[in-house]
């Protein structure tokens, strides 16, 4: 995404997320609009849960750096503050999207060497071993391999969520219980 500026204030980004603290400053830095008030709002919590269910990284808080949120939460924060600020944010995002980044100068690079057959086989064998396949010959379709890789990536994302927010598992279980009306593993 191109550079984002709202009300003449630069909005910092971190891993594709936007600084909620910078947005607060751009909105006038009123005490009643502090980011923690917005994040503790029940409607915000519900929106955050929906975003997380979709598997989208929604929020990242770093001590001494600030709180960063996804675009959907930027819009929600702007709506929470005022219609005027909401319109400023929408227009800033539209402007940033229509800006064309300068064409990079061509750089002479050699393409990486293709993966050799023996490397491909080793990779496939490693995946098979990790899945507990013990047969000496196993036929696995390319689709299944891609699904395995996607599953591994999903596990990595969930692990990252747990590491940044240890309560995420309990919160997710509670959301599932509330959504289904079932209480798993309880007497």
* Beta carbons within 10 angstroms of residue 79's beta carbon: 15
User: Alpha-carbon distance 67 to 61, whole Å?
Assistant: 4
Rounded Cα gap, residues 163 and 9, in angstroms: 32
Please, is 39 exposed, middle or buried when counting C-beta atoms within 10 Å of its C-beta (0-12, 13-18, 19+)?
middle
Residue 55 Cα to chain centre, angstroms: 7
- Residue 27: predicted pLDDT: 92
Give whole-number Cα distances, 50 to 57, 59, 69, 150, in Å.
Answer: 11, 13, 14, 21
Per-residue pLDDT reduced to its tens digit, 87-111: 999 988 888 877 655 555 555 555 5
Higher pLDDT residue, 138 or 181?
181
- The average pLDDT across 27-54 equals 91
Q: Which of 19, 11, 104, 116 has its CA nearest to residue 67?
A: 19
Q: Is 0.75 topped by the overall pTM? A: no
Domain extents in the chain: 5-98, 117-180
Per-residue pLDDT at 120: 66
């Amino acid at each position: 995404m191109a550079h984002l500026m709202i009300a003449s204030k630069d909005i910092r980004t971190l891993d594709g997320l936007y600084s909620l603290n910078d947005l607060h400053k751009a909105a006038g830095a009123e005490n009643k609009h502090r980011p923690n008030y917005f994040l503790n709002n029940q409607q915000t919590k519900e929106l955050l849960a929906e975003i997380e269910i979709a598997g989208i990284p929604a929020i990242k808080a770093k001590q001494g750096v600030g709180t960063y949120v996804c675009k959907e939460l930027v819009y929600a924060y702007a709506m929470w503050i005022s219609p005027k600020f909401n319109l400023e944010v929408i227009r800033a995002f539209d402007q940033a999207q229509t800006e064309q980044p300068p064409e990079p100068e061509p750089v002479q690079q050699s393409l990486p060497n293709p993966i050799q057959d023996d490397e491909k086989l080793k990779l496939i064998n490693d995946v098979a071993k990790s899945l507990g396949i013990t047969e000496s010959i196993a036929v696995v379709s390319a689709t299944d391999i891609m699904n395995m890789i996607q599953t591994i990536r999903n596990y990595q994302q969930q692990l990252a969520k747990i590491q940044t927010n240890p309560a995420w598992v309990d919160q997710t279980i509670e959301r599932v219980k509330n959504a289904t009306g079932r209480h798993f593993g309880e007497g």
